Amino acid sequence: MLKLFLFITLALFVSMASTAPVVNLYDFELQSSDERQKSKFDSLPAGLHLIEPPNGDHDTMLVAVHGQTARQDDWIETLKTVDNETTKTYFFRWDTKDCPTESAKELLADVLAIIDKSPKLGRIVFIGRDWGGLVLTQLLSKWQVTIACDVHLVATPLAALDDLFDSNNCEMSLPKRIQPTVRLFHWKVREVAGDSFFKKFDTDPQELDIDGSLSITLPASYENELITHATSLKWVARRISENLRTNQSVD
């Protein structure tokens, strides 16, 4: 009897360990200076990662795609704001030295695999900032899923594809057609002059829209804080969270 008890206990422990996320969103403290916390987040290998404990049935899948850099504190606050009890949250880690088109193929394959195992899934929400938004545009070029899907491009340099990736023999083009089940939101930062991310461009690289998308220019500030490339995620997250609660438009 003791051996049976130990066997069952061990089996349960192994099962729980196998489903636990490598990184748990809710283990992080906002604005932490703990280097161990930062390294754990940054050391995620390439691919799509569940970053919260499995919570049973869920009807929404939230996928974050980092940009040229993965500012940890920005993403933690953003994802905690949008996440809720019926949402499973994922983080897609990719090598920004690679062509976004290739990373988009990997992301699509990972998402499709999860869809196949999630019969109750009713909505997918993608959020990508700057270069992460470019990955999502390449994903949309191949997207043929009938599940309702919201795609949020935040401070994404759509007009700078050639400048950013042509030298790497990276063939990229914006999607010419968006599936009827997809709502595409293009969130633009208003104040680009002097912004460290945009200063490399002669003109505003956000000034290009994809046919069928909703273009939204962010306010210059919110609650006495300037909305820049670096802070844009937090503001957009509030709007997405409100939208998910009310299932209404976010414009």
The model's pLDDT over 133-153, given as tens digits with 9 standing for 90+, comes to: 999 999 999 999 999 999 999
Does residue 15 sit within a domain? Answer: no
Q: Between residues 40 and 184, which one has the greater pLDDT? A: 184
- Residue 65 β-bridge partners: 92, 128
What is the model's pLDDT at position 112?
97
**Residue 185: inside a domain:** yes
What's the domain count of the chain? 1
The answer to whether 172 and 161 are in contact (CB under 8 A) is yes
pLDDT at 3: 45
Indicate whether 151 belongs to any domain: yes
Q: Provide mean pLDDT across the span 209-225.
A: 90
Highest averaged pLDDT of the listed ranges 3-7, 64-68, 74-78, 245-249: 64-68
Tell me, what's the pLDDT at 226?
A: 85
- What percent of the chain lies above the pLDDT cut of 70? 79
Q: Does some domain include residue 40? A: yes
Region of 13 (left: φ > 0; alpha: ψ -120 to 50; beta: rest) is alpha
**What pLDDT sits at residue 36?**
52
Beta partners for 183?
150
Where residue 98 falls (left for φ over 0; alpha for ψ -120 to 50; beta otherwise) is: beta
pLDDT at 215 (0 to 100)? 95
- CATH number for the domain harbouring residue 239: 3.40.50.1820
Using 50, 70 and 90 to split pLDDT, how confident is the model at 85? confident
| pLDDT(126) > 60 | yes
Let me know if residue 10 belongs to a domain.
Answer: no
Question: Which one-letter DSSP state was computed for residue 248?
Answer: -
Is there a contact between 44 and 23 (Cβ–Cβ < 8 Å)? yes
Average pLDDT over residues 91-111: 93
Compute the mean pLDDT over every residue in the chain, rounded to the nearest whole number: 82
Domain-located, residue 152: yes
Name the residue range of residue 195's domain: 34-246
Strand partners, 128: 65, 153
List, for residues 14-43, the tens digit of each pLDDT value: 333 334 566 788 777 655 555 555 556 677
Distance between CA 127 and CA 75 in Å, rounded?
10
Q: Determine the Cα–Cα distance for residues 237 and 41; give it in Å rounded to an integer.
A: 20
Q: Using the predicted structure, report yes or no on whether residue 154 has a pLDDT greater than 90.
A: yes
Q: Which of 149, 147, 158 is nearest to 186 (CA)?
A: 158
pLDDT, mean of residues 113-123: 93
Report yes or no on 176 lying in a domain: yes
228 occurs within a structural domain? yes
